[in-house]
Amino acid sequence: MHRLRNQKIESVGLDISGRHLIVLFSPAEQKKSGPMADLAMAIAVLKETGQLTCDIPKSTAFIGALSLDGSVHETEGMLAAAMQAKRMGYETLYVPSDMKGAATLKDKDFLVPVQHLQDVIDHLSGQSLLPFAESPPVVMETPRVSQALTDFSDIIGHDIPKRALMVAAAGGHHVLLSGPPGCGKSMLAAAFPSIIPDMTEETMVDSFSLYQLAHETRALTPLPPYRHPHHSASSVSLIGGGTVPKPGEVSLAHGGVLFLDEMAEFPKKTLDMLRQPLEAGKVTISRVSGTVTFPARFIMIGATNPCPCGHYRSTKKYCICTPKQVHAYQQRLSGPILDRMDIHLELRPIDLSLTPAEKSMTSAERKDIVTKARNNQYQRFSRPVTNSIVSLEELSLTSPLSPPLQHLLQEKSMVHHWSNRVQVNIIRTARTIADLDGSDSISEAALLEAIQYRKQTGTTLSSSI
């Protein structure tokens, strides 16, 4: 139930004074918040009291906050609500003319921009209104974290990690980087967003709306977001929550990258809470007032040292940690979390005194290759999903593993004691490698490369110039 102030109705020359009106929202047991339904309530009251006589089709909806003078304004999450109304089959939706991002949408013909309650009444009565003004996207007021500061061509060496990150970007696979301090983990992670394909319009709108709900500023841009929370961040700031649930870092990274530097320094309980978003691509927050689900489909890049001092198995400095300390430090990352990391890379320091034989590919060149591989997946599955999230049944149907390759994977799994989840993730990674190579099926070379990314052997995954 909600109370509507009479001043808002009086702004159009009508009156509901002397009446006790109750507006019931369904379902009644769910607590409502926000002024998004102000415009719909005003139209409903005017219609029920007989002061609005024109017919309103069932395919018409209204969203917007009302001021006391009757002007219609935007509120948080409105763009996502408009897109959801379109998916639900509404043919006409009245929205505030100042709704951010509406003018940049491709499919906006069903939106009717209004500035005042009187505009709605006039349009319902047959008068025409001005369309959205073609304005540029919202200017970001915060640093453009979506744009990487490092180009892949500026990174010396690390050829295998660069290739692995291309695989991760193409298929949406999670990556764990391990190595001593200064070996390039953070630099590779900072360059990673520069090779991720642009977001689809639906994902772009969802990301924009999540930032609105979190009261953070972000442009309506296809550039993927890049979130880099500190290891001291609480579980609420990482996953989301609060008295009135707000999106956390995992949701703000939706469609982009979540980089956890010094991953082993995060509380183990907080890391284990990442299981649901890593697996399902969403996070559900339950409170007394109700349950809220936010999207959280991101690529996670984790970086960690191999031991407390950081020099375990290093060829440059001596490790001062005891075997017990090394084991305890590595146990901070639980088995279920490690299972969900598709690619494991152990980095070695690069000798910067050596001159590379030839300059590495730029981020733009790598992004073109990755985008082509991503589009191959969209065409194969007839919708915008990647190899990392498509169902195993559909993956097996479109890209079956030959019996010899199945036998090879089983042999390797028995040696390394890999779980069923790890084996499935290896197949997914191999399918992405085949997409990068332009192959219609998973080859033995693709499967062996995917297996290599799970071995975590320092000699094979270290790179030189």
pLDDT band per the 50, 70, 90 thresholds, residue 150: confident
Task: Return the percentage of the chain with pLDDT > 90, whole number.
Answer: 40
pLDDT tens per residue, range 438-465: 999 999 999 999 999 987 543 333 333 2
The answer for 215, left when phi > 0, alpha when psi is -120 to 50, beta otherwise, is left
pLDDT tens per residue, range 216-266: 888 788 899 999 999 988 888 999 888 778 899 999 999 999 999 999 999
Per-residue H/E/C for the chain: CECCCHHHHHCCCCCCCCCCCCECCCCCCCCCCCCCCHHHHHHHHHHHCCCCCCCCCCCEEECCEECCCCEEECCCCHHHHHHHHHHCCCCEEEEECCCCCHHHCCCCCCEEEECEHHHHHHHHCCCCCCCCCCCCCCCCCCCCCCCCCCCHHHCCCCHHHHHHHHHHHHHCCCEEEECCCCCCHHHHHHHHHHHCCCCCHHHHHHHHHHHHHCCCCCCCCCCCCEECCCCCCCHHHHHEECCCCEECHHHHCCCCEEEECCHHHCCHHHHHCCHHHHHHCEEEEEECCEEEEEECCCEEEEEECCCCCCCCCCCCCCCCCCHHHHHHHHCCCCHHHHHCCCEEEECCCCCCCCCCCCCCCCHHHHHHHHHHHHHHHHHHHCCCCCCCCCCHHHHHHHCCCCHHHHHHHHHHHHHHCCCHHHHHHHHHHHHHHHHHCCCCCCCHHHHHHHHHHHHCCHHHHCCCC
At residue 145, the pLDDT reads 40
At residue 353, the pLDDT reads 67
Measured distance CA(279)–CA(431) in Å, rounded: 19
Mean pLDDT calculated for residue range 126-153: 56
pTM of the model: 0.81
Mean pLDDT calculated for residue range 200-228: 87
Measured distance CA(244)–CA(71) in Å, rounded: 27
Mean pLDDT score of the chain: 84
> Rounded to the nearest 10 degrees, what angle do helices 403-416 and 420-436 cross at?
130
At residue 142, the pLDDT reads 38
Is the CATH number of domain 6-124 3.30.230.10? yes
Task: Return the percentage of the chain with pLDDT > 70, whole number.
Answer: 86
Mean pLDDT calculated for residue range 295-321: 88
Please give the CATH architecture assigned to the domain spanning 152-461.
3-Layer(aba) Sandwich (3.40)
At residue 19, the pLDDT reads 67
pLDDT band per the 50, 70, 90 thresholds, residue 199: very high
Mean pLDDT calculated for residue range 62-88: 85
At residue 148, the pLDDT reads 47
Reduced to 3 DSSP states, what percent helix, strand and coil does the chain have, rounded to the nearest 5? 40, 10, 50
Parts of the chain belonging to CATH 3.30.230.10: 6-124
Measured distance CA(293)–CA(276) in Å, rounded: 11
Closest CA to 199 of 382, 362, 390, 384: 384
Identify the residue with better confidence: 176 or 150.
176
pLDDT tens per residue, range 322-346: 999 998 998 889 888 999 999 999 9
Q: Is the pLDDT of residue 22 over 90?
A: no
Parts of the chain belonging to CATH 3.40.50.300: 152-461
Listed range (113-122, 127-136, 272-281, 371-380) with the worst mean pLDDT: 127-136
CA 379, chain centre distance (Å): 21
At residue 143, the pLDDT reads 37
Listed range (21-30, 119-128, 226-235) with the worst mean pLDDT: 21-30
The position carrying tokens 């926000």 is 34
At residue 158, the pLDDT reads 87
Q: Structure tokens of 425? A: 């993730």
At residue 188, the pLDDT reads 93
Q: Could you tell me how many residues make up the chain?
A: 465
Residue type at position 364: A
At residue 6, the pLDDT reads 53
pLDDT tens per residue, range 257-306: 999 999 999 998 899 999 989 989 999 888 776 788 899 999 999 999 98
Mean pLDDT calculated for residue range 165-192: 93
Mean pLDDT calculated for residue range 370-392: 94
Measured distance CA(277)–CA(253) in Å, rounded: 11
At residue 147, the pLDDT reads 47
Listed range (9-23, 310-324, 338-352, 391-405) with the worst mean pLDDT: 9-23
Listed range (102-111, 284-293, 385-394) with the worst mean pLDDT: 102-111
CA 127, chain centre distance (Å): 41
Measured distance CA(279)–CA(257) in Å, rounded: 15
Mean pLDDT calculated for residue range 342-362: 79
3-class secondary-structure state, position 125:
coil
The answer for 83, left when phi > 0, alpha when psi is -120 to 50, beta otherwise, is alpha
